[in-house]
Structure 1
Amino acid sequence: MRYEELADEPCSITRPLVVLGDRWTLVILKYSFAGVRRFNAFQSALGISRSRLQDRLDRLIEHGILVKQKAAVGVHEEYRLTPKGHDIYPILMAIRDWGDTYMAPDGPPVAYRHRDCAGEGHITFECDACGTELTARDIEAGPGLQSEASEAGRQAG
């Protein structure tokens, strides 16, 4: 299967990877959350080629994760996170938690602290019905709403 064909897979893990699965895209998003908004600031911070950076920014705009707009001050344009973009933050924090655990032998290089109490933020995975914290061993995959709707359509036809 070609990479482009993954977008057509009926899988809510695979489809987002077509948009987010590139290392530069996730790093651009990390910098966006840190307040970087201008093309030249991304380029300077990342050392990425201008064409590759523009490609990744365009893809994030195309998918409604970033929006390009005039800056409030000055004449330049900025790349701003949309609400859809802000919803990616827990994904980055889950990656950070994993990285702190398995790839930071001297301890976490950055502490992400709650502004109100200085506690550190972490991602948890829990059941939406009972609140129990879950691991992969607790999960059983089965048909989702899309599969159920397709089956109901076949039975009705």
Structure 2
Amino acid sequence: MRYDDLADYPCSITRPLVILGDRWTFLVLKASFTGIRRFNEFQRTLGISRSRLQDRLDRLVEHAILVKQQAPGSAHDEYRLTEKGHDLYPILMAIKDWGDVYMAPDGPPVHYQHRGCSGEAHVRLECDSCTSELTARDIELAPGPGLLAYHAKD
């Protein structure tokens, strides 16, 4: 299968990877969540080339993950997370949780604390029906309407 074909593949993991599947895109998103909004701030913070940064920002805008708008009271543009963009935060937190366990031998480099009580933020996978905490061993796959519609096109 060609890379371009993956955007139409009936899989809710594969399709987002076509948009998000490289490290620079996730690092741009991480910076966005810390409040970075301007092109030069992204470049200075990430050390990314201008052309690569522009490509990633354009892709995120194209897919309505970021919106490009004029900064209030300024002639400069800024990039802001949309609701769709904010919904990616648990993915970054899941990567952070994994990194803290397997790639931080001296302990987490940063604590992500709840502003309300200073507790540590983590991602938890749970059943939407019974609220039991789940692991991969608890999951089984069943065809959904998107897969049935995809096969109906054949």
Deviations 1:85-114 (A, max 9, x none): 000000000000000010000000000000
Aligned equivalent of 1:75: 75
- Displacement of 1:147: 3.1
Higher RCO (C-alpha 8 Å, min separation 6) = 2
Aligned equivalent of 1:106: 106
Aligned equivalent of 1:146: 146
SS at match of 1:24: helix
Structure 1 Cα separation of the partners of residues 92 and 136 of structure 2: 19
Aligned equivalent of 1:136: 136
Aligned equivalent of 1:14: 14
Structure 1 Cα separation of the partners of residues 121 and 13 of structure 2: 24
Structure 2 Cα separation of the partners of residues 150 and 36 of structure 1: 39
Deviations 1:40-84 (A, max 9, x none): 010111111100000000000000000000101321110000000
Aligned equivalent of 2:59: 59
Aligned equivalent of 2:116: 116
- Displacement of 1:150: 6.1
CA RMSD of aligned residues (A): 1.4
Structure 2 Cα separation of the partners of residues 146 and 122 of structure 1: 30
Structure 1 Cα separation of the partners of residues 89 and 100 of structure 2: 16
Give the counterpart letter for 2:19 in structure 1. V
Q: Which runs of 4+ in 1 moved over 4 A?
A: 148-151
**Contact 2:10–2:150 (CA under 8 A) maintained in structure 1:** no
Deviations 1:15-64 (A, max 9, x none): 00000111000000000000000000101111111000000000000000
**Contact 2:10–2:147 (CA under 8 A) maintained in structure 1:** no
Q: TM-score, normalised by structure 2?
A: 0.95
- Listed as ranges, the gaps of 5+ residues in structure 1 are none
The size of the alignment, in residue pairs, is 153
Structure 2 Cα separation of the partners of residues 112 and 8 of structure 1: 35
SS at match of 1:80: strand
